[in-house]
Homo-oligomer: A and B are copies of this chain.
């Protein structure tokens, strides 16, 4: 393990991504990456409460990852997970039957990279041989919690984003697979004073810019060292702000700089507005798309800077601003 600067961890043992499980809702399955997901669920309520449905998505993604990794739950030393529901109930309730030592984390939609950072740390430092890490989100549980129940039919501005329904889970190990988690850059809380829950992209773009800049400075890399640099869920408006902020930092962007929230939906899909969001957004795009490009040798390196808006229902009602955070993970194809 190496500490690079103040924020970046370099995993010298290069923990491998052994297998992933991806479960996507109907709208996500109809998006451009739909064919990449392991499981798609047509009726995302599944005849129960939305919260229960989300727990099942998470359990299904975890089960799929275990099957693909040829592992039993008893072989997993640690699971690290998160979701957007208050008190992480989708993670804790959804995975309680797996009987695996569990660490709940929360950094909103940056939780998947927070989880991957801790999974990498646990393997690299040899306190775990196999770690399961994942997140879920559900459009209806998020709408009810952070905005309005979907049944209200509230109108939304074009800067709104659609919370992704789905779950992405990965199993990391010491050996196996040809993609490694090589670095994690831990983000700081950044608050630019945005207060509108329809402007998450604007609230999160500064956090993404800071983390990307810190990652490049501390690793001595440039954007061109990556085949793809992706933020989590800034959406189209937040992405444009990010480009401005990186330009202010003197970064010329001639690599593929994109955003998981933009990639997961086609712009002409109904009600996706500025793009996807939610704790599952970066997880699905990373495990279902980036990882495949790495595994197939199309890409050598990817930097994923997932982004989280750290508001709660109560802080929004109390007209507080929306702090944000972004944790970044570098993935690299290894030959052998």
Contacts and interface: CB of A to CB of B under 8 A. Distances in A.
Contacts of A154: none
A255 interface: no
Contacts of A88: 106, 310
Nearest to A1: B125
A92 interface: yes
A3 B128 CA distance: 7
Contacts of A186: 78, 101-103
Contacts of A191: 96
For chain A, give the interface size range: 35 or more
Nearest to A325: B102
A1 B126 contact: yes
A290 to B, nearest CB: 23
Nearest to A51: B314
A150 interface: no
Given A92-B189, A92-B323, A87 B108 contact: yes
Contacts of A189: 92, 95-96, 99, 102
A213 interface: no
A117 B191 CA distance: 28
B7 A315 contact: no
B3 A101 contact: no
A255 to B, nearest CB: 25
Contacts of A310: 87-89, 92-93
Nearest to A75: B6
A129 B2 CA distance: 12
A245 interface: no
B127 A121 contact: yes
A124 interface: yes
Given A6-B77, A128-B3, A323-B92, A118 B106 contact: no
A168 B112 CA distance: 27
In the complex, the count of this chain's copies comes to 2
Interface string A82-104: 00111111001101100111111
Contact of A125 (B84, B121, B145, B188): B121
Nearest to A117: B103
Nearest to A101: B186
B106 A87 contact: yes
A114 interface: yes
A72 interface: no
20 contacts: A1-B127, A2-B126, A51-B314, A51-B315, A86-B145, A86-B312, A87-B311, A87-B312, A87-B315, A88-B106, A88-B310, A92-B323, A101-B188, A102-B186, A102-B187, A102-B188, A103-B186, A104-B107, A105-B105, A121-B127
Interface of A: 1-3, 6-7, 9, 49, 51-52, 77-78, 84-89, 92-93, 95-96, 99-108, 114, 117-118, 121-122, 124-129, 145, 186-189, 191, 310-315, 318, 320, 323, 325
